[in-house]
Amino acid sequence: MKINARVELESIYSALDNEVNSHNNECNACGSCCDFGKFDHILFTSIPEVEYVIDSVVIPENGFVAGQCPFHDGKTCSIHKYRTLGCRVFYCNQGYKKDCAPDIYEKYYRMIKDLAFRYEIDWEYKPFLESISDFLIKGKLK
């Protein structure tokens, strides 16, 4: 990922974090929402989000458990600083989830899509685990 695109994505994530934090969502960091199988949840991500993760951390090649995020380390996220849009927006607080999260997600999703367009990053939107698996098998995202 080009350095300018990376800096811009970090700026988008920073604005997003501020907006999400203004909602005072209570989270006891139980980690359940990162256990996709048990939580019945699929985390969708775009190429810029996944590229940012891949460029920043070592992807664990072993211990890939179906339905679980490979970065789910006990109850914590081992890539917290680099986590994706969906990870940043999601909170299980029902009021926030229903009334606020969809609009916030859409707003920042559009910003990331615009960034991808301007930096000529391929656009694909699919499950995070699928993208990470593809990368481990093919050494690239597409």
Q: Which residues bind ligand SF4 (CB under 6 A)?
A: 27-34, 43, 69, 71-72, 77, 79, 83-84, 87, 91-92
Read off the DSSP letter of residue 100.
Answer: T
* In the complex, minimum distance from the CB of residue 38 to ligand SF4, in angstroms, rounded to a whole number: 10
Q: Which is nearer to ligand SF4, 116 or 132 (CB)?
A: 132
* In the complex, minimum distance from the CB of residue 14 to ligand SF4, in angstroms, rounded to a whole number: 17
Tokens representing residue 115 in the block:
């960034």
* In the complex, minimum distance from the CB of residue 118 to ligand SF4, in angstroms, rounded to a whole number: 25
Q: How far apart are CA 47 and CA 23, in angstroms?
A: 28
Helix/strand/coil (H/E/C) assignment for every residue in 7-75: HHHHHHHHHHHHHHHCCCCCCCCCCHHHCHHHHCCCCEEEHHHHHHHHHHCCCCCCCCCCCCCCCEECC
* In the complex, minimum distance from the CB of residue 41 to ligand SF4, in angstroms, rounded to a whole number: 9
Q: Which is nearer to ligand SF4, 4 or 14 (CB)?
A: 14
Q: Which is nearer to ligand SF4, 66 or 120 (CB)?
A: 66
Q: Which is nearer to ligand SF4, 8 or 71 (CB)?
A: 71
